[in-house]
Amino acid sequence: MKAVVSSSILKDSRDAGVEAASKALKGIKHPKLGFVFSSIKYNQVELLDGVKSVNPELKTIGCTSSGAIMTPEGIISGEDGFVGLMVLEDNELNVGIAASERGNDPRETGRKIAREAMKDAHKDHPPVAFAMFANPAEEEYYLKGIQDVIGEVPMFGGSAADDAVAGEWKVLCENKSIGDGCAVALFYTTKEIKNVFTGEFEETNTYGVVTKVEDDRRIVEIDGVPALKKYAEWIGANPDDLMGQNLLVASIPHALGVKTVKGDLTAVRHPMIGNEDYSFNVGAKVAEHTALILLHNDVDGLINGAVKAIREVKEGFDPGALFLVHCGGRKLHIGDRVDEDFVAIKNACGDVPFIVAFTFGEYGQMNHSGAQIGGLSLSFTGFAK
């Protein structure tokens, strides 16, 4: 596996795409896939057109990233926009991609794009792994639809993000820029693709049972008590101070966790919006009658968690490329220490080409947990040389 990573902060969207692609494709004879992550400030269709103008055969997939990306060159951001591109090349790699707007049924849309991606790869059997990118909302249903077609093979990816949780995010695939939908890339290869999915939060001894949920992601009651009041009690806060997006910021060091059935993974749930009825919305699905565990982390823990995850990917494994999905909320809490986060990530990656995208949802699995959707998490993927 060979990978080249590039970026651009040119003001013009198409020019930025041209510059990033021109850099990334130097020395690449037969590119198989380009992961592309960009600023919401760009016109995404023009950006993708610029990439394609350099090499029309390059398949592209990705999403908008919150505020910045990281590459070995540094933290890439700009007043006018930014874009990063990781191009993969390997004789033994075949990738099929597809994307679609949501449609009437996200699960059926997942089935549709999985079939189209198999056709794009000229395959009639499941891949060894797949990447998914979707808008924040119904990721679990897209995932189920994809799995209806290809089964439960390893997955990785993340949800498109913007700069202010304002719904300006886009999912990117070929020449498509999608605000409400999903994209998938199916990987056919004989070489290992290794994913580490983790929040790296500490579990506390505080927990409660979800007694009422509405619309999958709005927790109404915990232990029969209005959910926001119970949560505020847990973290020593006034529930009235956690209304709206105040909760999103306040909850980053105090996330919630749901243990998977096998017990080896605690999937993180990020409390995001406090509602007037003292319910609150989280960034991934929660089921009634399951236990929510109060988690804890600080800035040191968030930075060290990224290093630990990279080391785990590299343990007993020789990657030719590292694709790192890093929650945008974690970056928000790291704040003005983000330079430390970058240095720690770069040092842990060493000489391996990498790209970091900041997302509003992360996807992966750990220790045969099955594919999971989480928040405030890391989904770090290595592609074997």
pLDDT digits (tens, 9 = 90+) for 115-124: 999 999 999 9
Task: Compute the average pLDDT of residues 225-236.
Answer: 98
Q: C-alpha distances in angstroms, 89 versus 17, 24, 25, 29, 30?
A: 19, 11, 10, 8, 6
pLDDT digits (tens, 9 = 90+) for 154-205: 999 999 999 999 999 999 999 999 999 999 999 999 999 999 999 999 999 9
Percentage with pLDDT > 70 across the chain: 100
Task: Compute the average pLDDT of residues 91-112.
Answer: 97
Which spans in the chain are helix H? 13-24, 44-54, 106-120, 139-150, 227-235, 246-250, 299-314, 328-334, 338-349
pLDDT, residue 328, reads 98
pLDDT, residue 342, reads 98
pLDDT digits (tens, 9 = 90+) for 39-88: 999 999 999 999 999 999 999 999 999 999 999 999 999 999 999 999 99
SS (H, E, C) 172-198: EECCEEECCEEEEEEEECCCCEEEEEE
- pTM over the 0.95 mark: yes
Q: C-alpha distances in angstroms, 255 versus 212, 231, 272, 284, 343?
A: 19, 10, 10, 12, 25
Average confidence score pLDDT of the chain: 97
pLDDT, residue 132, reads 98
Residue 230 pLDDT greater than 90, yes or no? yes
pLDDT, residue 27, reads 80
pLDDT digits (tens, 9 = 90+) for 357-370: 999 999 999 988 99
Report which of 272, 271, 384 is spatially closest to residue 319, judged by C-alpha positions. Answer: 384
What is the rounded CA–CA span in Å between residue 208 and residue 225? Answer: 10
